[in-house]
Amino acid sequence: MLHDSASAIPLRIEGLTFRYRARPEPAIQDVSLTLEKGELLLIAGASGCGKTTLIRGINGLIPRTYRGDLQGRILLFGQDARAMSMAQLSQIVGTLLQDPERQIVGSYVLNEVAFGLENLGLPRQEIRERVDEILSYLGISHLRDRETFYLSGGEKQKVALAGVLVMRPRILLLDEPLASLDPVSAREALALFRRLADEGISIILVEHRVEDVLTIHPDRVLFMQDGRVTYDGPPDQMTEAVDYRQVKLPAPLTVRRAIHAPPPVFEPTIRPNGREPLVVFENVSFSYSEDSPLVIQDVNMTIHQGDIIAVLGPNGAGKTTLVKHAIGLLKPRRGRVLVEGRDTRELSVAQIAHTLGYVFQSPGHMLFAPTVREELAFGPKNLGFPKERIAEGVNRAIETVNLKGLEDYPPLALSFGQQKRVSIAAVLAMRSRILVMDEPTAGQDYWNYMAFMDSILQMPGFDAVLFITHDLDLAICYANRVVLVSEGRIAADGPPAEVLKDPDLLRRCRIVPTSLLRLNLEALPHTGQFLRAEALAHALPPQVLETLANHL
């Protein structure tokens, strides 16, 4: 039984060190921290630095599910967590995982949200009342009777959160909760987290989108590197204590700090050359069944050689459904999709894979091999590549997405962010002409995703790249074309500076302007194009930079 008291600190961690059995080095080392009642603690750091391992220790998955060498202790309201049962822990600590696919077990939303309460043996009427209350609280009552399989990634994230909050935990662990959410949903979720903390729930928020989290004024920030805590203090001092190349800070701050660094060198190898269209959508409409609503409708779009396309839009708008038509996983109800002039109805997915390589939103849908190297070699082997070409492609992919040293690790033993990079590398190794990525930055720290996007777009061999993203700044930094999708239709399609300048259009598509977008729009008369913050620092005269930074 938990001996709670008004003065007990909800969470205290003392000298925690843990090494997974499958890994030679500790995932976290000598981590100590406290979490007060109603405190909102932001934990940031590079992918694989130990953030998720720390979460697993607090919620009891370490050492019960993930085994290895554990030292130190975790106290929940003064009691050692290892002395508590999982049933006790589940009523104190609630966890929202990085990947909602791993958390959802119910076929329908109602069953999913009720699952934990049913395991506690609560009366049916109380379960229904609490489920309806939390769905209303989160603004997703309309999803109550939907099948979870057909929900978008963002909708699944909200349903998973409902399943956690319905248990009424006193400590809430949020592991990359914004990864699958569109900008407006992310802003709403952050406001909710702030409200929950103000109502007395103690919250640990693990998140790479540091700039977004800073808007809700977290009480404290903890920064981790290589399994250790390197900063623990107030948010306003964190921006000076961390490397701006590793953490995505507000654009004006990055500009000021990048002025004294060498200018970034980035020149994509993909170039338009007037060749025939690669993929053509002709009046494409689709629904998942004959009597269900259309998910996409009347879509006309062409992917040309040289396109670097960012597909933006709200959760459930049809972005992933649209892209799955290009790779042949879905066939149109009406209209047709042509890949290099051939109707996808006449092609197998394997045939299309020679032209289009697709990185799924959830790496769990792709990964299965015993080692990273074997995972990366699987696709090229099935496409009939010779051994020398396979080895060369695998090594190049490993280098591109920063997986050096992890070649012999089981992919599913890696962090979510590392798994995402493995799934990208697996497609890179196949050398398809068109690379299609669904949420490539989910679970990625700023340094890693900028590094691998730079490398991908500078690799020879790709004729076009398309990526679905909720990260507006990713589109600003890399896309030469932006496609906005809303309610299953193409709402806008054109150069980033044209599409992203219309605030009413952005509002309709649930896109929140970032500090980088505002800075680029102000600087556009001087630059003539959108640039990343580090490049803006060297593209404008100092007096213009100062004026813009102060204005924003």
The model's pLDDT over 208-264, given as tens digits with 9 standing for 90+, comes to 888 899 999 999 999 999 999 999 999 988 878 888 888 888 888 888 888 888 888
Same domain flag for 67 and 159:
no
CB contact burial 136-174 (16+ within 10 A = b; e otherwise): eebebeebbeeebeebbbbbbbbbbbbbbbbbebbbbbb
| Sequence-separated (6 or more) residues with CB below 8 Å from residue 470 | 154, 180, 181, 182, 183, 186, 312, 439
Is residue 227 in some structural domain?
A: yes
Shared domain for 354 and 461, answered yes or no, is yes
Residues 355 and 423 in one domain: yes
Evaluate whether residue 251 is within a structural domain.
no
In Å, how far are 246, 247, 469 from 319, measured between CA atoms?
A: 29, 28, 9
Span 82-92, pLDDT tens digits: 999 888 888 89
CATH number at residue 81: 3.40.50.300
Strand partners of residue 296: 286
Q: Are residues 124 and 163 in the same domain?
A: yes
Same domain, 372 and 437: yes
CA distance 476 to 180: 19
pLDDT of residue 487: 92
Residue 488 Ramachandran class (φ > 0 left, ψ -120 to 50 alpha, else beta): left
The CA-CA-CA angle for residues 198, 204, 209, to 5°, reads 100
Q: How far apart are the first and last CA of the chain?
A: 53
* Residue whose C-alpha is closest to residue 296's, from 487, 508, 470: 487
Question: Who's near 539: CB < 8 A, 6+ residues apart?
Answer: 523, 526, 527, 531
Query: Are residues 460 and 370 part of one domain?
Result: yes
Residue 157: pLDDT band with limits 50, 70, 90: confident
Quote the Cα angle for 375-427-387, to 5°.
60
Helix (H) or strand (E) segment spanning residue 68: strand 68-76
Each residue of 338-391: pLDDT tens digit? 999 999 999 988 889 888 988 887 777 778 889 999 999 998 888 888 999 999
CA gap 93, 116 in Å, rounded: 13
DSSP annotation of 141: G
Quick one: pLDDT band at residue 3, thresholds 50, 70, 90?
very low
pLDDT of residue 1: 38
- Please write the tens of the pLDDT for every residue from 22-60: 788 899 999 999 999 999 999 998 878 899 899 999 999
Specify whether the CB–CB gap between 159 and 140 falls below 8 A: yes
Q: What integer pLDDT is reported at residue 180 of this predicted model?
A: 75
Residues 76 and 215 grouped into a single domain: yes
User: Is residue 540 in some structural domain?
Assistant: no
Residue range(s) defining the domain that contains residue 51: 13-92+169-242
182, 116: one domain: no
Q: Are 154 and 283 in the same domain? A: no
Whole-number pLDDT of residue 30: 95
Q: Which residues contact 498 (CB under 8 A, 6 or more apart)?
A: none
- 285 exposure class (CB count in 10 Å sphere: 0-12, 13-18, 19+): middle
The answer to whether position 379 is within a domain reads yes
Q: What is the DSSP string of 347-398?
A: S-HHHHHTTEEEE-SSGGGT--SSSHHHHHHHHHHHTT--HHHHHHHHHHHH
178 and 156, same domain (yes or no):
no
Residue of 483, 481, 497, 492 lying closest to 306 (CA atoms): 481
Same-domain check for residues 395 and 312: yes
Can you give the pTM of this predicted structure? Answer: 0.82
Q: Are residues 76 and 49 in the same domain?
A: yes
Total domains, the chain: 3
> In sequence order, what E strands does 6-56 have?
11-20, 28-35, 40-45
Confidence at 551, pLDDT banded by 50, 70, 90? low
